[in-house]
Amino acid sequence: MTDQANQSRRNFLYVAAGGLGAVAAGATVVPFIGSMLPAADTLAASKTEFDVSTVEAGQLVVIQWQGKPVFVVNRTAELLAQVDGHDDRLKDVNSEAIPEVQQDWMDTPEKRKYRAIKPEYLIVVASCTHLGCIPLFKPTQGRKDWGDSVPENWAGGWHCPCHGSYYDISARVVNGSPAPHNLHVMPYKYTSDTKVVIG
């Protein structure tokens, strides 16, 4: 056999060994990184049941779902009316920007506006989409109750104390906020008139 043939066989073996070695290394990474994903029991514990009738009119309750805080607000007719009239000041009026802010049941303009299956009960993830702080609930309009922590034309909603993001009473982010998106809506469904299963 010629030297050249030897050389080409040697190169082939080098490439084959290197390729297989890379496959082996890649395959080894899978179980190790995989083990850091939520374990089966953690995944199974990812549903929360809650009775919305325990939230009084106009009040906000923070509950836990998958270790994250969740807002449940009982919106009065007055609060529901505050949803209208400031569409031009919102980043994502119809909650369409990313999948996390919408759900299948948002099939009418009404539901996209109220962002709730039952308009009076708003249920959203309570983490500011900027860096995860919990925004403060400042439901009434104007600066009367909140001083200059809110803008002059405040329509009522949430104010994030960390970096000053604003959300309206449907948890839609207001222009000029560092937060990029509306507060996330997680999957949930009513199993009875007042009982919801979140997750």
Partner 1 sequence: MKMTKFVMAAVAAMVMGFSSQAMASGGGAHLEHANVDVTDQEQIRRGLTVFTDVCMGCHSAKYITFRGLMDYPEIGLTREEVDELRGEKSLMSGMISDLSIEDAVVSYGKAPPDLSLIVPGRRGGADYVYSLLTGYEHDPDGKVPDGNWNKVFPGNRIAMPDPISWLDHEADEAAELKQQAEDVAAFLTFIGDPHQNTRRIIGCWVMGFLLLLTFVLWRLKVEVWKDVKH
Partner 2 sequence: MLDKIMKTQLFAWIDKRTDAEAIIKSQLTEYPAPKNLNYMWNFGSLALLVLVLQILTGIFLVMYYKPSAEATFGGFTVAFDSVERIMRDVNFGWLIRYMHAVGASMFFVVVYMHIGRGMYYGSFKAPRELLWIIGVVILLIMQGAAFFGYLLPWGQMSFWGATVITNLFGAIPVLGEYIGQVLVGGFAVGDPTLNRFFSLHYLFPLLLAAIVGGHIHALHVVHSNNPEGIDLHKPEETIPFHPYYTLKDAFGVAFFLLFYCYIVFFNPQMGGYFIEVDNYVPANNLQTPAHIAPVWYLTPWYTILRSFESKLLGVAAMGGSLAILFVLPFLCKSAVRSARYRPMYKIMVIMFFVDVIVLGYCGHSAPTATLKVVGQIATAYYFLFFFALPFLPKIEKTKPVPEGI
Determine, following the binding rule CB under 8 A, whether residue 40 of this chain makes contact with partner 1. Answer: yes
Site string for partner 2, 19-58 (x = CB under 8 A): --x--------xxx-xxxx-xxxx----------------
Nearer to partner 2, 5 or 37 (CB): 37
Catalytic residues: 163
Smallest distance, partner 1 to C-beta of residue 139, A: 37
Cβ burial of 48 (10 Å; 0-12, 13-18, 19+) is middle
Nearer to partner 2, 43 or 98 (CB): 43
27: left (phi over 0), alpha (psi -120 to 50) or beta: alpha
Determine, following the binding rule CB under 8 A, whether residue 17 of this chain makes contact with partner 2. Answer: yes
Q: Which residues contact 61 (CB under 8 A, 6 or more apart)?
A: 54, 55, 71, 72, 73
Q: Which amino acid, one-letter code, is at 96?
A: E
Q: What torsion, rounded to 10 degrees, do the Cα atoms 55, 199, 133, 78 define? A: -40
Residues near partner 1 (CB under 8 A): 6, 9-10, 13-14, 16-17, 20-21, 23-24, 27, 40-41, 44-45
